[in-house]
């Protein structure tokens, strides 16, 4: 994982945190984003209804990256509204740490960046997730083209569960 971002402004919200709770350091949260096997992407349909779907992704150079086929619902939603929320975490009530990432999904088309991201995908998920790069997209012979998006966080929320409970906001410039 390569990171180039500035550290975010970090604020523990005492209203939703146990006495004595502290904010998780950003490098720890970034490492969790990098290691997560699954993320949930929330987008908005053109008619305003929400759409949520699980997907895999890669945290690289300060952004969370995911891919989708150009005709898929999430790609069509992003064409109309690039605002997204990505979530990941422990999916447990009394242990673990959940993370919510808010930001804009920007399409990645640069050949060099896509090639590096394809290597990151395969390193994280194995050879079943090998992508070639062609025409500004990931390509798999059996699946076709996939557009790649980068979400540079605007705001991230971290939710520590169990004792101590905590809620932390990380704001990026």
Which residue's entry shows tokens 């083209």? 145
Q: What is the pLDDT of residues 55-106, one digit of tens each?
A: 999 999 999 999 999 999 999 999 999 999 999 999 899 999 999 999 999 9
pTM of the model: 0.94
Residues 6+ apart with CB under 8 A from 27: none
| pLDDT (average), residues 103-115 | 98
Please provide the DSSP assignment of 15-74 as one string: GGS-TT--PPPHHHHHHHHHH-S-EEEEEE-TTS-EEEEEE--EEETTEEEEEE-TTSHH
* Distance separating the N- and C-terminal Cα atoms of the chain: 21
């Amino acid at each position: 994982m390569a990171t180039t971002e500035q550290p975010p402004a970090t604020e523990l919200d005492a209203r939703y945190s146990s006495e004595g709770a502290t904010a998780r350091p950003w490098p720890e949260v970034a490492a969790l984003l990098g290691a997560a096997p699954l993320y949930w992407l929330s987008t908005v349909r053109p008619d305003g209804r929400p759409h949520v779907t699980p997907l895999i992704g890669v945290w690289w150079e300060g952004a969370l990256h995911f891919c989708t086929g150009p005709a898929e619902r999430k790609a069509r939603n992003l064409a109309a509204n690039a605002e997204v929320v990505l979530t990941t975490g422990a999916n447990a009530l009394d242990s673990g740490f959940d993370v919510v990432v808010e930001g804009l999904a920007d399409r990645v088309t640069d050949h060099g960046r896509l090639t590096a991201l394809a290597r990151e995908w395969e390193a994280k998920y194995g050879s079943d997730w090998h992508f070639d790069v062609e025409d500004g997209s990931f390509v798999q012979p059996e699946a076709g083209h996939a557009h790649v998006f980068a979400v540079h966080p605007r705001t991230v929320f971290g939710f520590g569960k169990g004792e101590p409970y905590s809620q932390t906001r990380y704001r990026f410039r």
